[in-house]
Amino acid sequence: MAALIMRFKFSGFLKQLKFPSPDIHVLLDRGKQCIYSGFDPTSDSLHIGNLAVIIVLMHLQRLGHVILNVIGDATAQVGDPSGRNTERPVLSLLDIHKNSKCIQANLERLFENHEKYFWDPLKQKKHLVPVKILHNSEWYNNQDVVTFLSTVGRHFRLGQMLSRTSVQNRLKSQEGMSFTEFSYQIFQSFDWLFLYDKYNCRFQVGGSDQMGNIHSGHYLVNRVRSREVFGITTPLIKSDTGDKYGKTGGSAIWLSPDKTSPFEFYQFFIRLADKDVEAFLKYFTFLSLQEIESELQKHMKDPGSRHGQKTIAKNVTLLVHGEQGLQSALRATEALYHATPETLAKLNEVELRQIFQQATVVELLLDPGTTVLDMAMRAKCFIKLEDAERIIMAGGFYINHVRINNPKYVLIPGQHILPNGISVVRVGKKNYYIIKWLM
């Protein structure tokens, strides 16, 4: 535990610790503890900001603690004002239910991949304690508002509630804050009280924008049960412009493959700035401090090879998307940066569309004797026949990254048409076409 805490503290990963003692590892070393984090289903996928929190939970799971993941299908109806300048859009119960199922699938896949690819029970000489996934509607569905306010609400003081940063920021804004949003901290606090009563849950982990809500929960449990509980927050993962990588900022890197493909996900980490490599190795991998130091030394010897970024990208993509997703990302990356007919032939249509996102996709029937010019005109690569002939003969036309300068060439399967039944056509430097051949 001491090594884990030191790793996080020196990397800045544990942003704030609400502990009465600096020796926090002693508290977690006293035996099996119950630790939770909450995820409101305001979208149909988690993102890498959530992943930072989840990896802390995984580290704690590796130490033998019980992990609770709480999906806030009830609190999503209230709306968390933290980190927002405006009120959240109201979600229908149907959307919340759908989002909750997607978030649960995210969490199940992440913890399954962690155990499958990053945990060896024989080497570690123990099995991981299974995580629990709960929905807070379980304890709100039978609540009535009068009872809730009279039993829970009476413990909160307006002065403390008004002092929260999220509340202050909104009160100063032009839009202000609704009573519904203002009450969110009471509901999240009650989550912790319920989990304490049922599971003896004394620890909560969240992003640093949740510090106010965590403090409120700490206050409620301490006041009602006279027991000390503890909060841990992680820093927000931000872009070079200072925007957090979340759905609010419009720059989200999602954990669901249908929202951010494994290729795009992998490329996000490949494009990390060198200055971020050390922190991300500590944030997002399960490498030991000694292994991280070794990776950094290799990276510094030749930063241009992006060794550190590749290590991070491989580890995180494997965790989020599994072996199949990682291999898909690696194939697509090879095809993008080392493009040959052979590398393109390994890709399926979905992977090709991910690489060439702006490409026009065309389906054509392959007739005997189809020429390069026939294909170009049928795919509408050119408007005029004379333009097609001129540009092709001038060397501005490529099939599967090979320059073709004779418009009368007859297409040859296996050369111009890849084994996957696709041709990748480029006109000039940037105009791509993906042609699916109907055989």
How confident is the model over 352-365, as pLDDT tens digits?
888 887 789 999 99
Secondary structure element (H or E) that encloses residue 188, with its range: helix 184-199
Check whether 20 has a pLDDT greater than 70: no
Q: How far apart are CA 312 and CA 286, in angstroms?
A: 10
Q: Which of 15-19, 79-83, 147-151, 396-400 has the highest mean pLDDT?
A: 396-400
Q: How far apart are CA 240 and CA 203, in angstroms?
A: 32
Q: How far apart are CA 411 and CA 402, in angstroms?
A: 13
The band of 17, judged by pLDDT with boundaries at 50, 70 and 90, is low
* CB-based contact 421:439 (threshold 8 Å): yes
The CA-to-CA distance between both ends of the chain, in Å, stands at: 61
Per the DSSP assignment, residues forming a β-bridge with 379 are none
pLDDT score for 340: 76
* CB-based contact 360:433 (threshold 8 Å): yes
How are beta strands 431-438 and 66-71 bridged, if at all? unpaired
Per the DSSP assignment, residues forming a β-bridge with 137 are none
pLDDT score for 12: 55
Q: CA-based angle 118:122:128, to the nearest 5?
A: 55
pTM: 0.83
The band of 15, judged by pLDDT with boundaries at 50, 70 and 90, is low
pLDDT score for 36: 97
pLDDT score for 403: 93
Question: 190: which residues sit within 8 A by CB, 6+ positions away?
Answer: 148, 152, 220
Task: Strand 66-71: give its sheet, edge to edge.
Answer: 16-18, 230-234, 201-207, 34-39, 66-71, 132-135
pLDDT score for 163: 80
Nearest to 57 by CA among 127, 114, 126: 114
pLDDT > 90 fraction of the chain, expressed in percent and rounded? 55
pLDDT score for 177: 78
Q: Which of 12-16, 21-25, 320-324, 328-332 has the highest mean pLDDT?
A: 320-324
pLDDT score for 9: 54
The band of 387, judged by pLDDT with boundaries at 50, 70 and 90, is very high
Check whether 158 has a pLDDT greater than 70: yes
Q: Which of 57-66, 263-272, 314-323, 362-371 has the highest mean pLDDT?
A: 314-323
Hunting for tokens 């296996």 — which residue is that?
A: 414
Q: Which amino acid is at 393?
A: M
Cα separation values, 157 from 204, 220, 260, Å: 22, 11, 43
The band of 3, judged by pLDDT with boundaries at 50, 70 and 90, is low
pLDDT score for 19: 47
Q: Which of 169-178, 212-221, 256-265 has the highest mean pLDDT?
A: 256-265
The band of 260, judged by pLDDT with boundaries at 50, 70 and 90, is very high
pLDDT score for 175: 77
Tell me the torsion sign for CA atoms 231, 84, 55, 107: positive
Check whether 173 has a pLDDT greater than 90: no
Check whether 6 has a pLDDT greater than 60: no
Q: How far apart are CA 413 and CA 222, in angstroms?
A: 73
pLDDT score for 90: 84
Q: How far apart are CA 352 and CA 370, in angstroms?
A: 23
pLDDT score for 346: 82
Mean pLDDT value across residues 107-125: 95
pLDDT score for 183: 84
pLDDT score for 256: 97
Mean pLDDT value across residues 148-170: 81
Q: How far apart are CA 67 and CA 51, in angstroms?
A: 15
Nearest to 379 by CA among 423, 439, 345: 423
The band of 270, judged by pLDDT with boundaries at 50, 70 and 90, is very high
Check whether 349 has a pLDDT greater than 60: yes
The band of 411, judged by pLDDT with boundaries at 50, 70 and 90, is very high
Which token pair is 327?
Answer: 């291999």
pLDDT score for 13: 57
Question: 280: which residues sit within 8 A by CB, 6+ positions away?
Answer: 269, 272, 312
* CA dihedral of residues 416, 419, 423, 429 (deg, nearest 10): -80
Check whether 149 has a pLDDT greater than 90: no
* CB-based contact 333:266 (threshold 8 Å): yes
pLDDT score for 266: 95
Give one DSSP letter per residue of 86-129, joined into a string.
Answer: SPPPPPPHHHHHHHHHHHHHHHHHHHHHHHHHH--HHHHTSPPP
Of the candidate ranges 131-145, 336-350, 366-380, the one whose mean pLDDT is the lowest? 336-350
Mean pLDDT value across residues 297-301: 94
Mean pLDDT value across residues 113-134: 94
Give one DSSP letter per residue of 277-332, joined into a string.
Answer: HHHHHHHH----HHHHHHHHHHHHH-GGGTHHHHHHHHHHHHHHHHHHHHHHHHHH
